[in-house]
Chain A
């Protein structure tokens, strides 16, 4: 498969040669998955590879571990730890939700290169709240793809917190395949040092009367760069769609960069589809206010960043998901403040 041209938005900002491992197709070590709670992970995972996407084809060829989580019935919070070690590590997790649960996937480790593929189906009338926390060590490279299908009257919430790795490319695609399906998605990115974080979020409304909301909040400091491309597709006949995308960027230094490309492709007419993007520096009045309450300039800025990033999760309704992600965010910022 030849590398995709940079003319494609998906590969414009993080070209394939910059995110793939140094060697061709190495044999990957396994990302080790472990789970807390009453459920177990089963070996093996079904996979339908999207042949036109080089990242997905590559992740299917490279090997690594593969597991499936079956959710039959109502579960509370399920924690899955994923640890990437060695030179090149890869793994595939499939979630088959036929009930309701809140699943947190927490990726850590020191592998030079990690490849993670997550897929899942939320069956008709079921509910899944899924959170992904990327806390890889600072010298890791991550290629991360997700594919989700949301059934009739099903509810899915996706939250992502990206604070690890020095170069990360995430490509998360959700297809609403059943009428009445609902998706809420929140992504937060904290760019530090020279981090390069590229998020592509694709939401496909295939059928009528579904709704989706996407919020991406990025705060970039140092010489970091955040790229957010969101593609919202409304298929022919998907009338009654209500979809919105909001991209917000907070730039904290002169060398930081943020690129936002929220795209809409609408082929139905009875729809509400909107997107918005905004970018601005930290408001000096807010910093001044916090400093007048005794905070140092750095603490004040951290508080503002924390509030800005956590605000992305306010659109979600699953309280466990919000709490876990917000806690991880606070811990991360406190650690950064102490450095």
Chain B
């Protein structure tokens, strides 16, 4: 390994061992509910936020559905069945209000967001950010020029307060509380997240970002995000997430709803880098109307268990879905990810690219659904799933499903599982790279369809992150 590479990896390891963002601040919460879940807790969360009655009713209804709904029997039932919902904190307020100046944010929280690089990114290439710390946003900003064009970018609590009519109209319409057990849980206890509205014809050139940080032990984070892109508009939303390494389990169960109106485009990028004690059970779904485009650019590097299948319902003629998903499953990790595309209208198209790496006994699973409804004429779709296995202790599974109900559909699916080829390693080593560097290059190249979709700064960070993860993968 070159001196530069050694120094870079030592730096990363010195920071906090294997996981770069495993540090945590002292818990100085303003309000922290007792652990455990009940109807009263759900009502208390709603009351503390002064929510309208209709939202309280939705929460309570969702809570009862959550209690009654069975745990999924697929994915990783052995982990799911062992979740102790009574050991989790469902609401924790870290500051008295969301600030729009970093100076007003407590210093230790400022430092945390400095360490994860958020403040630096804000100053250079983001159109706006929301920083969520445990249950609620602690900082929020949006560029003035976007605000003057009518762009709404708020944390979800503020969105409900300031635009109740829009939230009421669209909340739970893409992901109803009855969709699955964890969507019900989120609907019952949601807190934080983002509310975005892009007016007709407005193109948000710079990405907007939300950063989700879990700090407290035994925390449950249940953010709710709703993005509405009106006709002919476009937006790129990025979310990042990290958490401290604790021995106890934390639960992250978000719901994300996207609606792309006629001719709109939404790109939703995720760099999920939770610590391994976090269970990441997320429901993400989009509705794509006529001639619109929805893109999920999704990476899952962290967490002990992720079950996430970003979905797109192509409801309008000529709409397009794009999913690029990468997953890294290291020691003690199970990345159960995938994508779902439902072609409901004619002349709709979709592309799904999924890449996964399993190492040190990690397990990666692709679970997908491609459905073409009977009236969806002339649809086209292509799905590519590739998996790399880096040792014999690891596991890779692929469960794609294709349901084709229209004879004019033109669909392709291909998947492969393989290991890094000895020829490729040999070639790179013959050009002067060490075995470790050669492996890093191959892995970065394997994930290239994902990183090329990210803004340049993120792509560089992503490659560094992967290099850290690949440490020790040789021998």
- Report chain B residues within 8 Å CB of A266: 387, 389, 395-397, 417
Residue of A257, A266, A274 ringed by the most chain B CB atoms within 10 A: A266
Whether B407 and A253, one on each chain, are in contact in the complex, defined by CB atoms closer than 8 angstroms, is yes
B73, B411, B415: the one contacting A278 at CB < 8 Å is B411
Interface string of B354-395 (1 = CB under 8 A from A): 000000000000000000001000000000000101111011
Kindly provide the distance from the CB of B375 to the nearest chain A CB, expressed in whole angstroms. 9
Whether A276 and B409, one on each chain, are in contact in the complex, defined by CB atoms closer than 8 angstroms, is no
- Stretch of B207-215, B225-233, B398-406 lying at the A interface: B398-406
The answer to whether the Cβ of A100 comes within 8 Å of any Cβ in the partner chain is no
Kindly provide the distance from the CB of B418 to the nearest chain A CB, expressed in whole angstroms. 6
Whether B397 and A270, one on each chain, are in contact in the complex, defined by CB atoms closer than 8 angstroms, is no
In the complex, chain A residues 250-299 whose Cβ is within 8 Å of any chain B Cβ = 251-281
The answer to whether the Cβ of A44 comes within 8 Å of any Cβ in the partner chain is no
Kindly provide the distance from the CB of A199 to the nearest chain B CB, expressed in whole angstroms. 14
Residue of B nearest to A5 (CB): B73
Kindly provide the distance from the CB of B414 to the nearest chain A CB, expressed in whole angstroms. 4
Whether A237 and B392, one on each chain, are in contact in the complex, defined by CB atoms closer than 8 angstroms, is yes
In the complex, chain B residues 408-424 whose Cβ is within 8 Å of any chain A Cβ = 408-419
- Given known contacts A269-B391, A274-B414, A276-B414, is B407 in contact with A263 (CB within 8 Å)? no
The answer to whether the Cβ of A1 comes within 8 Å of any Cβ in the partner chain is no
Q: How far is the CA of A35 from the CA of B266 in the complex (A)?
A: 65
Residue of B nearest to A238 (CB): B392
- Report chain A residues within 8 Å CB of B54: none
- Report chain A residues within 8 Å CB of B407: 251-254, 256, 281
The answer to whether the Cβ of A239 comes within 8 Å of any Cβ in the partner chain is yes
Q: How far is the CA of A280 from the CA of B410 in the complex (A)?
A: 4
Residue of A262, A264, A271, A272 ringed by the most chain B CB atoms within 10 A: A264
Residue of B nearest to A259 (CB): B403
The answer to whether the Cβ of A9 comes within 8 Å of any Cβ in the partner chain is yes
Residue of B nearest to A254 (CB): B407
Whether B397 and A277, one on each chain, are in contact in the complex, defined by CB atoms closer than 8 angstroms, is no
- Report chain A residues within 8 Å CB of B387: 266
Whether A263 and B404, one on each chain, are in contact in the complex, defined by CB atoms closer than 8 angstroms, is no
- Report chain A residues within 8 Å CB of B392: 236-237, 239, 268-270
Whether A270 and B419, one on each chain, are in contact in the complex, defined by CB atoms closer than 8 angstroms, is yes
The answer to whether the Cβ of A66 comes within 8 Å of any Cβ in the partner chain is no
- Given known contacts A237-B392, A263-B399, is B73 in contact with A7 (CB within 8 Å)? yes
Whether A261 and B402, one on each chain, are in contact in the complex, defined by CB atoms closer than 8 angstroms, is yes
A5, A236, A259, A270: the one contacting B404 at CB < 8 Å is A259
Q: How far is the CA of A254 from the CA of B373 in the complex (A)?
A: 10
Chain A, interface size category, equals 35 or more
Kindly provide the distance from the CB of B475 to the nearest chain A CB, expressed in whole angstroms. 14
Kindly provide the distance from the CB of A170 to the nearest chain B CB, expressed in whole angstroms. 19
The answer to whether the Cβ of A119 comes within 8 Å of any Cβ in the partner chain is no
In the complex, chain B residues 58-77 whose Cβ is within 8 Å of any chain A Cβ = 73-74
- Given known contacts A275-B414, A280-B410, is B402 in contact with A269 (CB within 8 Å)? no
Q: How far is the CA of A256 from the CA of B406 in the complex (A)?
A: 7
Q: How far is the CA of A270 from the CA of B419 in the complex (A)?
A: 6
Q: How far is the CA of A265 from the CA of B363 in the complex (A)?
A: 10
Whether B417 and A273, one on each chain, are in contact in the complex, defined by CB atoms closer than 8 angstroms, is yes
Residue of B nearest to A244 (CB): B416
- Report chain A residues within 8 Å CB of B414: 274-277
Whether A249 and B404, one on each chain, are in contact in the complex, defined by CB atoms closer than 8 angstroms, is yes
- Given known contacts A7-B73, A264-B396, is B406 in contact with A269 (CB within 8 Å)? no
- Given known contacts A269-B390, A275-B415, is B401 in contact with A264 (CB within 8 Å)? no
Whether A263 and B402, one on each chain, are in contact in the complex, defined by CB atoms closer than 8 angstroms, is no
B396, B398, B413, B419: the one contacting A260 at CB < 8 Å is B413
Interface string of B234-251 (1 = CB under 8 A from A): 000000000000000000
Kindly provide the distance from the CB of B143 to the nearest chain A CB, expressed in whole angstroms. 45
B399, B411, B416: the one contacting A274 at CB < 8 Å is B416
B403, B411, B412, B417: the one contacting A264 at CB < 8 Å is B417
B74, B396, B406, B418: the one contacting A7 at CB < 8 Å is B74
- Given known contacts A237-B392, A275-B398, A279-B410, is B415 in contact with A257 (CB within 8 Å)? no
Whether A274 and B413, one on each chain, are in contact in the complex, defined by CB atoms closer than 8 angstroms, is no
Whether A258 and B406, one on each chain, are in contact in the complex, defined by CB atoms closer than 8 angstroms, is no
Q: How far is the CA of A185 from the CA of B402 in the complex (A)?
A: 21
Whether A280 and B74, one on each chain, are in contact in the complex, defined by CB atoms closer than 8 angstroms, is no
- Report chain A residues within 8 Å CB of B403: 257, 259
- Report chain B residues within 8 Å CB of A273: 416-418
Whether B374 and A254, one on each chain, are in contact in the complex, defined by CB atoms closer than 8 angstroms, is yes
Kindly provide the distance from the CB of A264 to the nearest chain B CB, expressed in whole angstroms. 4
Whether B401 and A254, one on each chain, are in contact in the complex, defined by CB atoms closer than 8 angstroms, is no
- Report chain B residues within 8 Å CB of A281: 407-410
- Report chain A residues within 8 Å CB of B73: 5, 7
28 contacts between A and B (CB under 8 A): A9-B401, A237-B392, A251-B404, A251-B407, A251-B409, A254-B406, A260-B402, A260-B404, A263-B398, A263-B400, A264-B396, A264-B398, A264-B415, A265-B395, A266-B387, A266-B396, A266-B417, A267-B395, A270-B419, A271-B418, A272-B418, A273-B418, A275-B398, A275-B415, A277-B413, A277-B414, A278-B411, A279-B411
User: Beyond the given A257-B404, A263-B398, A274-B414, could you list 20 further A-B residue pairs with CB under 8 A, ordered by the A residue number?
Assistant: A254-B407, A259-B403, A261-B400, A262-B398, A264-B417, A265-B395, A266-B389, A266-B417, A267-B395, A268-B389, A269-B392, A270-B392, A271-B389, A271-B418, A274-B417, A275-B414, A279-B402, A280-B409, A280-B411, A281-B408
Binding site for B on A (CB under 8 A): 5, 7, 9, 236-237, 239, 249, 251-281
Shortest 10 CB-CB contacts between residues of A and residues of B: A251-B407, A269-B389, A277-B413, A264-B398, A274-B416, A276-B414, A273-B417, A279-B411, A260-B402, A259-B403
